[in-house]
Amino acid sequence: MIPVHLNAVATAVPPFLFEQPDIERRMRAQFGDSAMVARLLPIFANTGIERRYSCVPIEWYYDEHRWADRNAIYRENAVALIEEATIRALERARIAPDRIDAIVSVSTTGLATPSLDALLMERLPFGRHTTRLPIVGLGCVGGALGLARAADLVRSGSFSNVLFVAVECCTLWFRRNEMTKSNIVATALFGDGAAAAVLSSTGTGPRLVASGEYTFARSLDIMGWDVADDGLQAIFSRDIPALIARELRAILDDFLARNHLRLEDFDAFLSHPGGTKVLEALEGIFAVAPGSLRDSRAVLREYGNMSSVTLLFVLERALREGALASLDARRALLTAMGPGFTAAFLTLER
């Protein structure tokens, strides 16, 4: 089988930094001191998030914005962010743009036609025969499944070097007149960012070896977005941590068994940090001590939940200074969950 080497990962964030306590104060001023606000605002302090990044300044949220206006800002910022992340990733991989055979792009928080990968090709000197694979609608699981799709292209033997990019501008969809729990939770959790990874059939980077996914039956209403006149309305089920704690271990064990692996074979666990309760449930499933998912918790704390992008931030941190920085760490398990409701797994080996 053709090996798949992860030869570089790079990330990028937009320019506007929001501190979590400041957002909480502004939300209180926006929605007043009703009983519902008093009940929901502690969510901000309980997220484990200290700061996040946004494509627009905080004052932008004080005004009304149409769907079309928000999407235009998404498109402009999404392309700029993936360009920045791509340049860094290509430099780290020491590969020129014209040696990329395919681009896989993932995003859920806006629409672009032509797709983001086509727009990126107009900014950097990729070859005109580069294959493009845009993927939409994966949400938080997009980082894992996008990596898996990019790895499949390399593994097929038809593509030697594949660029994977993911970008989300979640904060653009705050709905200033929507005083609902889902809107408050989304405002407390989400941030903006982008990431890029270079996957190749040769190189010195760790290898992406196995991947798999599982979509739960009758689970379409657990997580996602609804399209409203003034933006995207987040869908969250309060049962997500309980569902993970109850059912994910058996699904993970099946994935591991099909790939002749055991949980004890892994030196590191890198998970998309959907929230602190999700991370607590995952630590129980992985049978590690509370607080052990340090890379995931650090990214959540410093950047918030950036949907599909977040797992790539966790991966970059783990390789640079975290769980995979030591050569003693030989094998890692990557996990993410998102709309579908779908769980995704990948194994990374040195």
C-alpha Rg value of the chain to the nearest Å: 19
| Listed residue (84, 154, 83, 74) closest to 108, CA to CA | 74
Q: What is the pTM of this model?
A: 0.94
pLDDT for position 38: 74
- Secondary structure of residue 142 in the 3-state scheme: helix
| Listed residue (1, 4, 3) closest to 198, CA to CA | 4
Known catalytic residue at 140: yes
CA dist 244 and 266 (Å) reads: 20
pLDDT for position 32: 67
Neighbours of 60 (CB within 10 A): 16
pLDDT for position 74: 96
Q: Tokens in use for 330?
A: 């030989």
CA dist 222 and 274 (Å) reads: 13
Q: Tokens in use for 191?
A: 């941030």
Residue 224's contacts (CB-CB under 8 Å, 6 or more residues apart) are 139, 235, 339
pLDDT for position 232: 74
User: Domain 5-200, CATH 3.40.47.10 — does that match?
Assistant: yes
CA dist 160 and 73 (Å) reads: 34
Task: Mark the ranges of the chain whose per-residue pLDDT is less than 50.
Answer: none
Which class does domain 207-349 fall in? Answer: alpha beta
> What residues does CATH 3.40.47.10 cover in the chain?
5-200, 207-349
Catalytic residue among 55, 140, 169, 170: 140
pLDDT for position 119: 98
- Secondary structure of residue 293 in the 3-state scheme: coil
- Secondary structure of residue 141 in the 3-state scheme: helix
